[in-house]
Amino acid sequence: MLITETDEKSRLQWWKDAKFGLFIHWGLYALPAKGEWAMYAARTPVAEYEQLAKQFNPVKFSAKEWVNLAKTAGMKYLVITAKHHDGFAMFHSKVEKFNIVDATPFQRDPIKELAEECQKQGIKLCFYYSHVIDWHHPHSIHEYYNNTWDYQLEDKAFYRYWNQIAKPQVKELLTRYGPIGLMWFDTAGGLSKKDSREMVDLVHNLQPDCLVNSRVSHWPGMGDYQSKGDNEIPMYAEDTKPWETPMTLNKSWGYHIQDQDWKKPESIIYKLVNIVSKGGNLLLNVGPTAEGLIPEQSTKRLLEIGDWINRNSEAIYETDPSPFPYEFDWGAITVKSGKVYLHLYHKYCPQNELVLCGLKCKVAKAYFLANGIPLETNQSYQAEGDHHELRILLPSELPDQYVSVMALELDEQLEVDESF
Ligand code: H79
């Protein structure tokens, strides 16, 4: 399939505008409740791990509630683990009986239910699919369980898996559940360039608009956008490929009963703002329980973030990154058609006055985005040193709890002195 540069841009546009998505790590591993690597960590034999399916009955699962939570949190897309490294399909697969409909008492297809709800509520449905690691199939079990990563993907066993499971399941996912926003592949170590390319082409041939993340391959340059490392936020805005940070709310992806190391809501809001100001997306994870519930600690945080986004949405969605090529200690900047948004981190911002250097264009109006309260500003220019300075008087009361956004309406085309 030939994709032109214009197609490329518009294919990505919804996703670049979206900024914020929900990652869901859900599978049989919710039962041992020690994260999604539980099978590997305990070196559980396949036959024994299969037994978990008989106990998996997440009757409290509600696609409506999950999608509604994503929506309320201000998320625009949802990426769910259709299959993680344990090889268990969370959808009704015809090519592998080790799936939620055929192997559990639950017998429902949560992916189908989510697809319907996402359609209804206007959220883009996307899939995580572990295309290389699959502990349920022999090509990788031997090597992983022996603690060596240099497994032989040229093996016949790998191609049996690749041709009979991986590709057919990706095809199932892209032909049975309506339009899919993106395919999120992971851990492609050892996969050849040719096989990576084959997977990308398979996705694009089935659904030309479906995006593919860069982890489809360890070869650079593959996929439509770049997945950063887990929880990684780059130091500077990048003008290469569009990018996304996958992030956990505690230290685990899959449900982990002992992990209570939760990030503070304000820290997640800072991270979101920081990422968006550098042109990236945040894919924030929850790990539902074996009953089908999103942990309360996660829900609480998502609702709090959603509340903040709701008050400041104009400064997040469809914005462009900061025009300044460096970070500020008081917060971060986003911009959009004639407006500059200053996201003030209360914890780090100055007491009385904010000084922004290097903004060359005239500010017509400044106000708090959340309540419209006007702000007093003073712009000056010193020819000596070509020095532009904007001073904003900060009132003692800020409209939000952790991050307050100030909107600057510009009189002129946005122009900054990058060298400052
Ligand atoms: O799906 C999540 C992880 O399961 C997956 N990527 C995110 C999005 C991932 N696959 N591999 N890795 C992450 C890196 C593997 C790290 C490991 Fe380990 C170090 C595997 C074995 C040692 C983590 C720590 C798991 C067991 C101990």
- 325-328 long-range contacts, CB within 8 A, separation 24+: 325/236, 325/237, 325/418, 326/236, 327/235, 327/236, 327/274
* DSSP strand pairing (403-410 vs 363-368): antiparallel
Closest residue by Cα to atom 10, ligand 1, is 187
8 Å CB contact between 343 and 378? no
Residues sharing a CB contact under 8 Å with residue 59, sequence separation 6 or more, in sequence order: 106, 291, 292
The β-bridge partners of 405 are 343
Could you write out the DSSP letters of every residue in 116-129?
Answer: HHHHHHT-EEEEEE
E strand spans, 288-373 = 320-321, 331-336, 339-345, 353-357, 363-368
Q: Which atom of ligand 1 is nearest to the CA of 85?
A: 4
Residues sharing a CB contact under 8 Å with residue 417, sequence separation 6 or more, in sequence order: 357, 358, 359, 360, 386, 388
Q: From 98, 131, 125, select the one nearest 112 (Cα to Cα).
A: 125
37 C-alpha to center of ligand 1: Å? 7
Q: Which of 186, 250, 282 most suits a substitution to test ligand 1, by most atoms within 8 Å of the C-beta?
A: 186
Q: Which atom of ligand 1 is nearest to the CA of 128?
A: 1
Please tell me the distance from the alpha carbon of residue 311 to that of residue 395, in angstroms, as a whole number. Answer: 19
pLDDT of residue 24: 99
CATH 2.60.40.1180 residue spans of the chain = 322-410
List per-residue pLDDT tens for the chain, 420 residues long. Answer: 455 555 666 999 999 999 999 999 999 999 999 999 999 899 898 999 999 999 999 999 999 999 999 999 999 999 999 999 999 999 999 999 999 999 999 999 999 999 999 999 999 999 999 999 999 986 754 455 555 544 455 567 888 999 999 999 999 999 999 999 999 999 998 889 999 999 999 999 999 999 999 999 999 999 999 999 999 999 987 777 899 999 999 999 999 999 999 999 999 999 999 999 999 999 999 999 999 999 999 999 999 999 999 999 999 999 999 999 899 999 999 999 999 999 999 999 888 999 999 999 999 999 999 999 999 999 999 888 889 999 999 999 999 999 999 999 999 999 999 776
389 C-alpha to center of ligand 1: Å? 47
Please name the CATH architecture into which domain 322-410 falls: Sandwich (2.60)
Report the sign of the C-alpha dihedral through residues 176, 181, 187, 190, in that order. Answer: positive
Q: Which atom of ligand 1 is nearest to the CA of 35?
A: 4
Q: Which atom of ligand 1 is nearest to the CA of 186?
A: 6
Q: Which atom of ligand 1 is nearest to the CA of 133?
A: 10
186 C-alpha to center of ligand 1: Å? 10
192 C-alpha to center of ligand 1: Å? 21
Closest residue by Cα to atom 20, ligand 1, is 37
148 C-alpha to center of ligand 1: Å? 14
pLDDT of residue 153: 54
pLDDT of residue 116: 98
Closest residue by Cα to atom 2, ligand 1, is 253
Please tell me the distance from the alpha carbon of residue 86 to that of residue 28, in angstroms, as a whole number. Answer: 8
**Does CATH number 3.20.20.80 belong to domain 5-315?**
yes
Closest residue by Cα to atom 19, ligand 1, is 37
Per DSSP, 74 falls in state T
406 C-alpha to center of ligand 1: Å? 39
**Reduced to 3 DSSP states, what percent helix, strand and coil does the chain have, rounded to the nearest 5?**
30, 25, 45
Closest residue by Cα to atom 11, ligand 1, is 187
Please tell me the distance from the alpha carbon of residue 306 to that of residue 284, in angstroms, as a whole number. Answer: 12
HEC-encoded secondary structure of 253-294: CCCECCCCCCCCHHHHHHHHHHHHHCCEEEEEEECCCCCCCC
pLDDT of residue 157: 80
CATH 3.20.20.80 residue spans of the chain = 5-315
83 C-alpha to center of ligand 1: Å? 15
Closest residue by Cα to atom 12, ligand 1, is 187
E strand spans, 287-336 = 320-321, 331-336
- Count the neighbouring beta carbons within 10 Å of the beta carbon of residue 29: 29
Q: How far is CA 135 from the centre of its chain?
A: 25
361 C-alpha to center of ligand 1: Å? 47
Q: Which atom of ligand 1 is nearest to the CA of 25?
A: 1
Residues sharing a CB contact under 8 Å with residue 39, sequence separation 6 or more, in sequence order: 29, 49, 85, 86, 135
Pocket of ligand 1, beta carbon within 6 A: 25, 36-37, 41, 186-187, 230, 246, 253
pLDDT of residue 386: 84
pLDDT of residue 9: 67
Q: From 248, 247, 134, 246, select the one nearest 188 (Cα to Cα).
A: 134
Q: From 355, 335, 353, select the one nearest 415 (Cα to Cα).
A: 335
411 C-alpha to center of ligand 1: Å? 50
Most distant CA pair in the chain: distance in Å?
Answer: 76
Q: Which atom of ligand 1 is nearest to the CA of 246?
A: 8
Please tell me the distance from the alpha carbon of residue 184 to that of residue 322, in angstroms, as a whole number. Answer: 27
